[in-house]
Amino acid sequence: MSANKESWGSRLGLILAMAGSAVGLGNFLRFPVQAVQNGGGAFIIPYLVCFLVIGIPLLWIEWAMGRFGGKFGHHSTPFILDTMGKNRLWKYIGVFGIWTNIAIAAYYCYLESWTLSYMLHSLLGTFSGLDQEGVAAFFDSYVNLGTSTLGIPYEPIVFFVICLLLNTYFLSLGLAKGVERVAKVGMPLLILFGIFLAYKGLTVTAGENGAIHDSSVGLNYLWTPDYDELWSPTVWLAAAGQIFFTLAVGMGTIHCYAAYVSPKDDIALSAMSAGWMNEFVEVVLGSAILIPISIGYLGIDRVTELVKLGGLGLGFKTLPYLFFQWGDVLGALAGFMWFSLLFFAGITSSLSMGTPWIGFLQDEFNWKLRPAALSFGLIVLVLGMPTVLFFNYGVFDEYDYWAGTVSLVVFALFESILFAWVFGIDKGWREINAGADIRIPVFFKFIIKFVTPMLLLWVFVGSLFTPKDNDWSAAFNGNWQLDNNSIVRKLMNSGLKEQLANAVNPVEIERLQQTLFYVNASRVLLVLVFVGIALLVYMAYKKRVRVARLQEVA
């Protein structure tokens, strides 16, 4: 008999936990940068289209699959998928739903731990008196395991362990007492802090506290449409990628959460509620903080340079300096709110990453909740430590690319095919609408069956064979050279090998050789974890067969 007796305490708690799973660091760090890099205001058009034809359908698919599997006592994707398709291979496709969460948690918890450290540094005034270069240098020193102003040796490791302990503790309390309570506290505070910082971002005035532009300049920079970009496949791929990243679809967490709901619960409205709450946080709050404040104080040219470094360059290397332009007290408070907001966004997401593994152990091997939660913490500690120790050698980025990007698209493609074509769209449509308080427009049935799988296939193929410099016009005209960021070239380490071939400085050559080694080693480690989980799924399957045979004999 399974040791899994978990359930949600309330519908509100479930929706907040689901929204917390989706609302993550990318809402505030990644989305505004993606918008700027992909046509500004024009980006919102493919973004919203992808939300409606990929995001919402996948939310319904994953909620329906999770609730359906939960009826049979399954709370993780291997056997949820197994109940929906007769082919035995589906359970091994479901391994993605456990592996992806563990692999993402390994580097995500490290990133999450930065926010804990920076909360403390903000309150202590570490960034007061530093210019932007000084704050950036602090970050570089931090990830290099340098001693911080707190005097704590190897501070990143200390805060990484603290972050893992917090995640493990809350997971050990279960869904209702742990995950749900964190969401009920964290999500309202996240929105409250976000509203305050958005207000400050929208009221930046030229000439006050050293600002050189009004907030309107930053908003125009972010949202002025470049309609020439609208027809670029690269922009659409970026929009689809952001939808995956922001809604936490293609991971297996939603399946797991939904597996604990009652068969009569409304999943159609709940999925919509969680999805739109995430969009409010991302589009409304996320776009009103990072870019308007940065441009208000640094100007467009400087921010354009920083945008190339991504959200981390702005969020950790720039904003702490800008907050202290408002004075030491308000600067410390704003910094604390900003990094608290990021921490709440992070921990509500990382807690969701632990539930598929815990549910699997409880279902298949009768583990108790606390040992299962502890095992998750230990696995993430071992798998995540290389991202801490070898951050500057590309390990963090490799985990993010393969687990946090490629895997999401692959798994989402498989599950959409399983739901619409193997399980059957008619049965799937009934499952989505069972107990629903809203009437879903029937055209979504067509979208789920045809449009969503085709777009997912297009996203995957486009990422697999991305043309050089994202020049799709040249590619379609017959000059299809693969970009180093395509999956094929990435797998071959083409970019690193080109840098190594062109390097002449012995120090740089040695650094690139070490990077190449650690990149390949991290991939081997990720593959070994995947194979290990697949073997556990095989053992669980054999165990089920033995039990079934014994029951037949009895």
Q: Could you tell me what percent of the chain has a pLDDT over 70?
A: 99
The yes-or-no verdict on residue 517 having pLDDT over 90 is yes
Q: How far apart are CA 495 and CA 481, in angstroms?
A: 14
Q: Which residue did the predictor score with more confidence, 481 or 146?
A: 481
pLDDT-derived band of residue 2, with 50, 70 and 90 as boundaries? low
Tell whether the model's pLDDT for residue 15 goes beyond 90.
Answer: no
* Predicted local distance difference test score (pLDDT) of residue 475: 84
Domain annotation for the chain: domains and CATH numbers: 11-553 (1.20.1740)
29-33, 293-297, 331-335 — which is least confidently predicted?
Answer: 29-33
Answer whether 322's CB lies under 8 Å from 201's CB: no
Summarised one tens digit per residue, pLDDT across range 148-185 is 778 888 899 999 999 999 999 999 999 989 999 999 99
Reported as a pLDDT band with limits 50, 70 and 90, residue 554 is: low
Residue labelled with tokens 């391994």: 95
Give 106-158 pLDDT, tens digit per residue.
999 999 999 999 999 999 999 999 999 999 999 999 998 876 778 888 899 99
Exposed / middle / buried, residue 295 (Cβ in 10 Å: 0-12, 13-18, 19+): buried
Q: Buried (b) or exposed (e) across 365-384, using 16+ Cβ within 10 A?
A: eebebeebbbbbbebbbebb
Please give the pLDDT value at position 504.
Answer: 92
Q: Which of 161-165, 291-295, 373-377 shows the lowest per-residue confidence on average (mean pLDDT)?
A: 291-295
Sign of the Cα torsion 263, 264, 268, 270 reads: negative
Phi/psi region, residue 6 (left: phi>0; alpha: psi -120 to 50; beta: rest), is beta
pLDDT class of 3 with cuts at 50, 70, 90: low
Q: Is 143 exposed, middle or buried (0-12, 13-18, 19+ CB in 10 A)?
A: middle
Q: Is the pTM of this model over 0.85?
A: yes
Residue environment code for 413-452, b if the CB has 16+ CB neighbours within 10 A, otherwise e: bbbbbbbbeebeeeebbebbbbbbeeebeeebbebbbebb
Residue 302: count other Cβ atoms within 10 Å of its Cβ.
15
- The pair of three-digit structure tokens given for residue 291, joined into one six-digit string: 């870019």
Q: How many residues does the chain have?
A: 554
Strand partners, 482: 467
